[in-house]
Amino acid sequence: FHTRTRMFLMAQPLLKIENLHTYFRTDKGIIKAVEGLSIDIEEGKTLAVVGESGSGKSVTSLSVMQLLSQAAQIESGSIWFLGRDLVRLPEPEMRQIRGAEISIIFQEPMTSLNPVLTVGFQVMEALIMHQGISKIEARQRTIELFDEVGILEPDQRVDSYPHEMSGGQIQRVMIAMALSCSPKLLIADEPTTALDVTMQAQILDTLRELRDRRGLSILFITHDLGVVAEIADDVAVMLRGKVVEYGPVADIFNSGQHPYTRGLLSCRPRLESKFKRLPTVEDYMKIETDIDGDIQVVEKTLDAERITYFNTAGRGRLLHPQHELEALGYTLDPGIDTADTQIISVDEPPLLDVEDLRVHFPIRKGLLSRTVGQVKAVDGISFRVYRGQTLGLVGESGCGKTTCGRAILRLIEPTGGCVRYDGTDIGSLGSAQMRRIRKRMQLVFQDPYGSMNPRMTVQSTLVEPMKVQGIGANTADRRERAVALLEEVGMEAAHLPRYPHEFSGGQRQRICIARALTVEPEFIICDESVSALDVSIQAQVLNLLKDLQERRGLTYVFISHDLSVVKFMADMMAVMNEGKIVEFGPSENIYTDPREDYTKRLIDATPKDDLKNIKIRQAAREAVRQRRTYN
């Protein structure tokens, strides 16, 4: 009787949301952020809520926590948690639940922490407030939590400030803070966005282990179905505030019914894929809006002709000259290389030639700021990029990828080595000469919002580089060029008078690409240019970059921590670790037969969303549940 009773109680949902409607009242009208949402989360299980930006995922989590802004209001519905309706709970009682019984990990950990307080103090504060323990006890408990979530040297890190820790470490601090009072429900709002794949894998492993050991329930919010496959038991797919598909993770991945689900599953680059162009959500469905503002999804048929297009559109791989491939130990392999794989002519000079590039930063300490050591961010790397090629630079955060890209453009002065662009030693150029050559070399930054002036309109953003480089006869001519560029990247002339905050992340990145094209460059460095985008928007931007390369004959250095994205984009690939290139060769060969253990770890860390892996995960989860039920 005792065991049956426990099993019955465990079958009841820990959290039950019924017909939730959360609206925002703005000057432009009512925005229905969440409309008619109904989901359940059982004890010890993980429900993943997945969808693009604006689908209502984060608003759902804020509705549960009752942390909505003044402009937002829950119009109707209920949120039942352990027999209490949180919607109708008085604020003092809700305040006791937050942190103690329901905790949340926010999307941007660095902005969630106070920069002038140590990370340990911020965790201790929650312990003291909710559990009423002393400072000494709180400090010891914080050290134990840091150790539990995998922070090395926890007794020292407890006194660190946020800026002294990496992105992965900060995310672990947020997990420790969320778990400090042993909550029953953990809400994880995009906890792995923009982390490199190895750090993402570590965070997911940490969450899985904590869930299984503590019996936690997790509401996991993400836009990446690859991550969902790694951690979820059940999945709710959201579109425009509504759940369009809901069920066990294996069913969603094996036989997703809604075209939006199928679109999200297809648009993510995969290591094993041979696609030259990525499908997008628009290939599976079309959204139509009626007079009342209600949306209707019209399904599209993805026929064999369209699939053939994804496999054949655009050029094949463009590899280094034969003698350089042989020197690297590679030959053309009929089993790997397609018929349209091309090799650079032996007499063609490289457009970019990097030789023994070094960028070292001094470590200064003491009252007189004496140099006591060096951080070797880039430590003697050499590579070549030929005209029309894409070289992928891949590695974990801190490996030196971004520093290398900026040193090539002399946005950071190299410590040593040589960078030749089209035969010219860039290091020997004066400021005036460097300004002229930068017309040919451009950079697309990782954070589109941070790289744009929030007080400048799109028109000003695009026209200013033209003025500096003397492009365009007059203001009218430059405006026409700006319109043409916007249309080329999939935007409209009507966007010119708007400001950066009026656009989505994907639209801002398109504007940044247009800005890079204003001076008509031939070489572009893309620095993590899609890492923080929804997978559906990421697919659109990657396709756009390939189209622009083919149309304009561009040469790219594509920097990313995601090996699957680099493999899709790149002809040749350089794998970086601790400032050095540890593996270099054709991207297909490096994926098919990696030579270095570090490369193998990057491949293994990439989320696997195949049905076999999902079933293995679910079998392991079921074994854990059985042990918890009968112990």
Q: Mean pLDDT throughout 243-261?
A: 91
Residue 11's pLDDT is 55
Residue 496's pLDDT is 93
Residue 4's pLDDT is 40
| Residue 192 predicted with pLDDT over 90 | no
pLDDT band of 3, cuts 50, 70, 90:
very low
pLDDT digits (tens, 9 = 90+) for 105-131: 887 777 788 999 999 999 999 888 888
Q: Mean pLDDT throughout 323-345?
A: 86
Q: Mean pLDDT throughout 374-390?
A: 94
* More confident position, 141 or 621: 141
| Residue 8 predicted with pLDDT over 60 | no
What integer best gives the mean pLDDT of the chain?
88
pLDDT band of 631, cuts 50, 70, 90:
low
Listed in sequence order, the residues at least 6 apart from 299 whose beta carbon sits closer than 8 Å to its beta carbon are 259, 284, 285
Nearest to 582 by CA among 600, 570, 567, 565: 600
Exposure of 157 by Cβ count < 10 A (0-12 exposed, 13-18 middle, 19+ buried)? buried
pLDDT band of 194, cuts 50, 70, 90:
low
Residue 620's pLDDT is 79
* More confident position, 597 or 12: 597
Residue 9's pLDDT is 41
Nearest to 555 by CA among 571, 541, 544: 571
Pick from 2-16, 93-107, 249-263, 494-508: least confident: 2-16
Helix pair angle (197-214, 167-179), 10° resolution: 10
Residue 2's pLDDT is 39
| Residue 293 predicted with pLDDT over 80 | no
Token readout for 536 is: 């559906």
| Residue 7 predicted with pLDDT over 50 | no
* More confident position, 363 or 253: 253
The reported pTM is: 0.86
Q: Mean pLDDT throughout 351-367?
A: 90
Buried b (16+ CB within 10 A) or exposed e, 218-228: bbbbbbbbbbb
pLDDT digits (tens, 9 = 90+) for 215-244: 899 999 998 888 898 899 999 999 989 999
Residues 385 and 572: their CA atoms lie apart, in Å, by 9
pLDDT band of 1, cuts 50, 70, 90:
very low
Residue 326's pLDDT is 93
Cβ(287)–Cβ(295) below 8 Å? yes
DSSP 3-state percent helix, strand, coil across the chain (nearest 5)? 40, 25, 35
Q: Which helix (H) or strand (E) holds 558?
A: strand 555-560
Pick from 170-174, 412-416, 565-569, 581-585: least confident: 170-174
Helix (H, G, I), strand (E, B) or coil at 556: strand
| Residue 281 predicted with pLDDT over 50 | yes
Pick from 69-73, 334-338, 392-396, 502-506: least confident: 334-338
Please provide the DSSP assignment of 567-629 as one string: HHH-SEEEEEETTEEEEEEEHHHHHHS--SHHHHHHHHHS---SHHHHHHHHHHHHHHHHHHH
Residues 277 and 122: their CA atoms lie apart, in Å, by 46
* More confident position, 499 or 296: 499
The CA-based angle 18-52-205, given to 5 degrees, is 85
Pick from 255-259, 369-373, 438-442: least confident: 369-373
| Residue 6 predicted with pLDDT over 50 | no
pLDDT digits (tens, 9 = 90+) for 507-556: 888 999 999 999 999 999 999 888 878 888 889 989 999 999 999 999 99
Residues 354 and 417: their CA atoms lie apart, in Å, by 8
* More confident position, 9 or 382: 382
E-assigned strands of 223-310? 234-239, 242-248, 285-289, 295-299
| Residue 611 predicted with pLDDT over 50 | yes
Cβ(549)–Cβ(562) below 8 Å? no
pLDDT digits (tens, 9 = 90+) for 387-417: 999 999 999 888 899 999 999 999 999 999 9
Q: Mean pLDDT throughout 131-144?
A: 91
Residue 292's pLDDT is 65
Residue 478's pLDDT is 93
pLDDT digits (tens, 9 = 90+) for 40-58: 999 889 999 999 888 899 8
- Euclidean distance between the first and the last CA atom of the chain, given in angstroms as a whole number: 15
Residue 273's pLDDT is 83
* More confident position, 166 or 498: 498
Listed in sequence order, the residues at least 6 apart from 169 whose beta carbon sits closer than 8 Å to its beta carbon are 151, 157
* More confident position, 496 or 503: 496
